[in-house]
């Protein structure tokens, strides 16, 4: 293979380049990045960067040793026989799409921050000053993490959520409601069940009437896969770039990884698009192997973590396929968990300050283990001890 092009300058793009070289690709290698910076880690943007602990999350890489041409500030605009970019076409033999996702913005002519890039984080951090009125739209993972950093900076924080509980879209209202008290403990005003009509200068207009004043507005209501540039390319697009379990798209020689990839999971029997660091880190190894002639499947157990109001929240699996939910420990205590079961099989686990539960639960999900529902509900029993013998 004479030339492979990777489109996307995030962690998934870098890891793809490294995997290709590690697995024997000796031909040309080019990474096309829309941002003017080499690949950097995104998880610290809502944590260490907003807290002022660092302003640079660049992932260490020796590009010269890697033998990878790095084209910064150059965006893909279309895909035909060649890759079309803002600075002209690029021919290729193999292509890996790793263009990630873009944050959703709300209507209105008022200034609104989003948090996706290092520039976003630096700009938002500058506004987190003592006494500033910060309104965060969305009580999801990012909203909670920014609220945590902002309260530490002395801001007066209000979080507006359209659903009836924080994290309702991610883990369901019943579980998400157990995190609502964390906001009050931190001095954050949480206003749920409110829809925002628009962002205007000086604050928000609410859909049901009324307004909220703000000095700084952050919109954190989710992202969309960055695939508009692929329209008309012939690739199947459905909430991302459609890929099979080997991360192959509908065009030979073209693969997709990271936040933009909607890949088939045999484990869960459905297509997944996972917007988290762990997937960007590990999926490229499989895509690279298959691009070079392999037949490997990517069927990892999705995993992510979040630091909220002094708590470590971790999640593994895919709970929407579950038919039962089991509480593990008291949500009013300092550490608890929730397990989701499909029949007797563990398919999802969320933990709060219980990292061992998460580790053992993730392993159980990966192995397809059956568990004893009564034992796994007992926080004094190790998760691995709840796995049925012989499962």
Q: What is the pLDDT of residues 228-255, one digit of tens each?
A: 999 999 999 999 999 999 999 999 999 9
**Which segments within 300-335 are labelled E, that is strand?**
303-308, 311-317, 324-328
Q: Which residues contact 320 (CB under 8 A, 6 or more apart)?
A: none
Domain boundaries, position 189: 105-219
When pLDDT is cut at 50, 70 and 90, the band that residue 390 belongs to is: low
Number of structural domains (the chain) is 3
- Position 242 in a domain: yes
207 and 234 both lie in a single domain: no
Sheet with 156-161, side-by-side order of all strands: 189-192, 156-161, 133-137, 216-219
The 10s digit of each residue's pLDDT in 92-123 is: 999 999 999 999 999 999 999 999 999 999 99
For the segment 2-29, the average pLDDT, to the nearest whole number, is: 97
- Position 302 in a domain: no
Name the phi and psi angles at 318, rounded to 5. Answer: -150, 90
248 and 326 both lie in a single domain: no
CATH number of the domain at 128, please.
3.50.50.60
156 and 191 both lie in a single domain: yes
- At 97, list the tokens: 């799409």
Name the phi and psi angles at 76, rounded to 5. Answer: -75, 140
What local confidence, expressed as pLDDT, does residue 1 receive?
Answer: 85
- At 103, list the tokens: 């944050």
CATH number of the domain at 319, please.
3.30.390.30
- Position 17 in a domain: yes
| Distance (Å) of CA 269 to CA 171, 304, 318, 319, 347 | 19, 20, 11, 12, 12
Indicate yes or no: pTM above 0.75.
yes
Q: Using the 3D structure, point to which of 186, 219, 252 is the last residue of a domain.
A: 219
118 and 95 both lie in a single domain: no
- Position 300 in a domain: no
167 and 207 both lie in a single domain: yes
């Amino acid at each position: 293979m004479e030339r492979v092009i990777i489109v996307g300058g995030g962690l998934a793009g870098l890891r793809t380049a490294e995997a290709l070289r590690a697995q024997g690709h000796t031909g040309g290698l080019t990474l096309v990045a829309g941002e003017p910076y080499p690949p950097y880690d995104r998880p610290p943007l809502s944590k260490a960067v907003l807290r002022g602990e660092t302003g640079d999350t660049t992932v260490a890489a020796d590009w010269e040793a890697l033998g990878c041409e790095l084209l910064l500030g150059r965006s893909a605009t279309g895909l035909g026989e060649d890759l079309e970019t803002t600075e002209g076409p690029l021919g290729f033999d193999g292509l890996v799409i790793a263009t990630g996702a873009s944050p959703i913005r709300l209507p209105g002519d008022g200034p609104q921050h989003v948090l996706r890039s290092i520039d976003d984080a630096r700009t938002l951090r500058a506004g987190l000053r003592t006494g500033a009125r910060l309104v965060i739209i969305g009580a999801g993972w990012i909203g909670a993490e920014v609220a945590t950093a902002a309260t530490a900076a002395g801001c007066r924080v209000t979080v507006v959520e359209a659903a009836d509980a924080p994290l309702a879209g991610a883990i369901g209202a019943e579980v998400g409601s157990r995190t609502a008290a964390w906001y009050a403990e931190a001095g954050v005003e949480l206003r749920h069940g409110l829809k925002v009509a628009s962002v205007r200068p000086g604050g928000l207009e609410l859909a049901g009437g009324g307004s909220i004043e703000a000095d700084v507005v952050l919109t954190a209501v989710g992202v969309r896969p960055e695939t508009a540039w692929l329209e008309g390319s012939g690739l199947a697009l459905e909430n991302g770039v459609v890929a099979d379990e080997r991360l192959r798209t509908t065009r030979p020689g073209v693969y997709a990884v990271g936040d933009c990839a909607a890949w088939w999971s045999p484990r869960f029997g459905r297509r997944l698009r996972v917007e988290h660091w762990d997937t960007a880190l590990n999926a490229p190894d499989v895509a690279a192997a298959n691009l070079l002639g392999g037949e490997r499947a990517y069927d990892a157990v999705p995993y992510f973590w979040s630091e909220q109001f002094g708590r470590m929240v971790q999640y593994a699996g895919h709970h929407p396929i579950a038919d039962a939910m089991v509480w593990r420990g008291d949500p009013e205590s300092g550490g608890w968990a929730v397990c989701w079961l499909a029949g007797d099989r563990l398919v999802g686990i969320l933990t709060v300050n219980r990292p061992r539960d998460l580790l053992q639960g993730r392993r159980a999900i990966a192995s397809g283990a059956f568990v004893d529902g009564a034992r796994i509900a007992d926080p004094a029993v190790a998760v691995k001890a709840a796995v049925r013998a012989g499962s």
